Chain A
């Protein structure tokens, strides 16, 4: 919309739902057009019948008041001041140091600036940051990557020192820092601003797991290990601060939010007890390389053991998930071996089983998420979406393609626990750098 005005000279009113008024205002300012033409209808927009939509049009602007259509006409016909015809640009930066103050006042300042997760932080003094920097061979001024809350928002940049500041705040140790740097360089964010309230799951593979004492055994997904807890928290804090914020209504839009965001559900794969290839080897790395993989997850269902009715159970557990957003199976080693006993002795075979056996009616498949996210590919003839779009409404079609199913093994074998998360990796276009690998190497950051 900004391009339509500034590049093509088309007076354009952008219509938004009212809950994003502050986000829209912020985006307009940072795009150099602070008074862009905006009009607002009430939320919700999704899943509303035509009569409700007509009511929005015939009602009042949900932010500014007065008839909605009157505002649209006024925005297109009222003269624009010269300063807005020119736009408004400026240089920005952030200072390296903060004005010295007491511990209490600094803690409060960090909270008020939305730089924390509202739990106590370790204040990043110069001495602590310097100690963190000893955890990498990289220089403090080296650029780590670019960051943004979601597609379409501006890209901020980070350095090794800025990542170290956030690692200190999270309570991480210098030996954790290469993993944190790899996460910051991954093109992913631990504070994704989706309305859908997604969180993260971070999986670490390779020798660094044992070198820094990560947990892949009993309680791997819980708060029982320094490295698991601090690395995940550091990824979250670094994401929100390096990308320019994660503030509800401005740079975060998830309706409910996600509790997994506190430490991005960070754990190590139990490669030693898994019957499968380690996840990073599955992704093309050597076993002696260390990697980190970021998934975006929404929630999970769980069960224990693959019992006599395991196929029926898996179908039931998975068929309520949303298409497109993927499935992430997190298996205790006991359950991984039970899959092997049933002939599914690799991640690929489990994904193929899901593709063949978990199916839903096309009418349900093509509602909501798929309707929102895939129509461009359908119209462009991209497979498999183009063919699937031709299915009869009651035809049963695969809920997930094989590439949408991932399998990770972790846990301490106290029982045959497994969880199926609605979750996937972010499509390249949504990542801050679409050329980066989906599983990121850690070793270059040592």
Chain B
């Protein structure tokens, strides 16, 4: 194996160019979930549907004052604008999953 030189070298950075990060604001929190409508969004990966069904059952059993509805994301890799618009119009909050 060649002995490395102690001479200082100038080399180029191999990384590409990242995009600008645009600020994305979070939605304000709710004061309470009681009496609110919570959408449970199945994004379509394996077992996310059964997970949301279990979550729906748990909430009905333990938090009956929270109204829940399970819905399915149309494309697991991209936002579903129609569903988002519906949740914004009819709901108060959402749980989305399960991201793998």
Compute how far the CA of A10 lies from the CA of B28 in the bound complex, rounded to whole angstroms: 8
List CB contacts (< 8 Å) of A297-329 with chain B. Answer: none
Compute how far the CA of A225 lies from the CA of B43 in the bound complex, rounded to whole angstroms: 45
List CB contacts (< 8 Å) of B23-77 with chain A. Answer: 23-33, 44-48, 50-51, 53-55, 57-58, 62, 74-77
Tell me whether B58 and A69 are in contact (CB under 8 A): yes
Please indicate the chain A residues that have their CB under 8 angstroms from the CB of B16 in the complex.
94, 147, 156-158, 162, 241-244
Tell me whether A115 and B26 are in contact (CB under 8 A): no
Tell me whether A241 and B14 are in contact (CB under 8 A): yes
Compute how far the CA of A237 lies from the CA of B16 in the bound complex, rounded to whole angstroms: 11
Compute how far the CA of A37 lies from the CA of B93 in the bound complex, rounded to whole angstroms: 12
A341 within 8 A of B: no
Tell me whether B93 and A12 are in contact (CB under 8 A): yes
Compute how far the CA of A151 lies from the CA of B45 in the bound complex, rounded to whole angstroms: 14
Evaluate whether A16 and B8 lie within 8 angstroms (CB atoms) in the complex, with A36-B26, A48-B47, A372-B45 already known: no
List CB contacts (< 8 Å) of A78-133 with chain B. Answer: 78-80, 84-98, 100-104, 106-107, 110, 115, 123-126, 129
Among A13, A47, A89, A94, point to the contact of B23 (Cβ < 8 A): A89
Task: Report the minimum CB–CB distance from B73 to chain A (whole Å).
Answer: 9
Compute how far the CA of A150 lies from the CA of B56 in the bound complex, rounded to whole angstroms: 31
Compute how far the CA of A45 lies from the CA of B91 in the bound complex, rounded to whole angstroms: 27
Please indicate the chain B residues that have their CB under 8 angstroms from the CB of A104 in the complex.
4
Tell me whether B15 and A92 are in contact (CB under 8 A): no
Tell me whether A92 and B21 are in contact (CB under 8 A): yes
Task: Report the minimum CB–CB distance from A14 to chain B (whole Å).
Answer: 5
Tell me whether A10 and B87 are in contact (CB under 8 A): yes
Tell me whether B30 and A76 are in contact (CB under 8 A): yes
Task: Report the minimum CB–CB distance from B67 to chain A (whole Å).
Answer: 14
Tell me whether B17 and A123 are in contact (CB under 8 A): no
Evaluate whether A84 and B21 lie within 8 angstroms (CB atoms) in the complex, with A4-B94, A10-B94, A50-B54 already known: no
Please indicate the chain A residues that have their CB under 8 angstroms from the CB of B87 in the complex.
4, 8, 10
Tell me whether B9 and A17 are in contact (CB under 8 A): no
Tell me whether A8 and B21 are in contact (CB under 8 A): no
Task: Report the minimum CB–CB distance from A165 to chain B (whole Å).
Answer: 5
Task: Report the minimum CB–CB distance from A25 to chain B (whole Å).
Answer: 12
Q: Nearest chain-B residue to A73 (Cβ)?
A: B33
Task: Report the minimum CB–CB distance from A112 to chain B (whole Å).
Answer: 13
A415 within 8 A of B: no
Please indicate the chain A residues that have their CB under 8 angstroms from the CB of B88 in the complex.
8-10
Compute how far the CA of A3 lies from the CA of B24 in the bound complex, rounded to whole angstroms: 8
Tell me whether B97 and A16 are in contact (CB under 8 A): yes
Q: Nearest chain-B residue to A143 (Cβ)?
A: B17
Please indicate the chain A residues that have their CB under 8 angstroms from the CB of B62 in the complex.
69
Compute how far the CA of A363 lies from the CA of B78 in the bound complex, rounded to whole angstroms: 28
Evaluate whether A155 and B47 lie within 8 angstroms (CB atoms) in the complex, with A106-B11, A125-B9 already known: no
Among B85, B94, B99, point to the contact of A11 (Cβ < 8 A): B94
Q: Nearest chain-B residue to A152 (Cβ)?
A: B77
Tell me whether B84 and A4 are in contact (CB under 8 A): yes
Compute how far the CA of A104 lies from the CA of B9 in the bound complex, rounded to whole angstroms: 10
- A1-45: CB near B (< 8 Å → 1, else 0) gives 111111111111111110010001000011111011100010001
Tell me whether B10 and A97 are in contact (CB under 8 A): yes
Tell me whether A11 and B27 are in contact (CB under 8 A): yes
Compute how far the CA of A77 lies from the CA of B38 in the bound complex, rounded to whole angstroms: 13
Tell me whether A100 and B10 are in contact (CB under 8 A): yes
Max count, chain B CB within 10 A of own CB: residue among A8, A32, A93, A151: A8
Q: Nearest chain-A residue to B25 (Cβ)?
A: A87
A260 within 8 A of B: no
Task: Report the minimum CB–CB distance from A135 to chain B (whole Å).
Answer: 16
Among A30, A123, A129, point to the contact of B21 (Cβ < 8 A): A30
Compute how far the CA of A78 lies from the CA of B56 in the bound complex, rounded to whole angstroms: 22
Please indicate the chain B residues that have their CB under 8 angstroms from the CB of A165 in the complex.
12-14
Tell me whether B26 and A87 are in contact (CB under 8 A): yes
**5 tightest Cβ-Cβ pairs between the two chains A and B:** A15-B97, A87-B23, A89-B23, A242-B16, A6-B24
Which positions in B face A, CB cutoff 8 Å?
Answer: 4-33, 44-48, 50-51, 53-55, 57-58, 62, 74-79, 84-85, 87-88, 91-100
30 A–B contacts from the bound complex (CB under 8 Å) = A4-B79, A7-B84, A8-B87, A10-B27, A10-B84, A11-B27, A15-B51, A15-B99, A30-B18, A45-B45, A46-B47, A50-B53, A53-B54, A58-B58, A77-B29, A87-B22, A90-B20, A93-B18, A96-B13, A97-B10, A102-B4, A103-B9, A106-B9, A126-B10, A162-B17, A166-B14, A195-B100, A372-B76, A375-B44, A429-B77
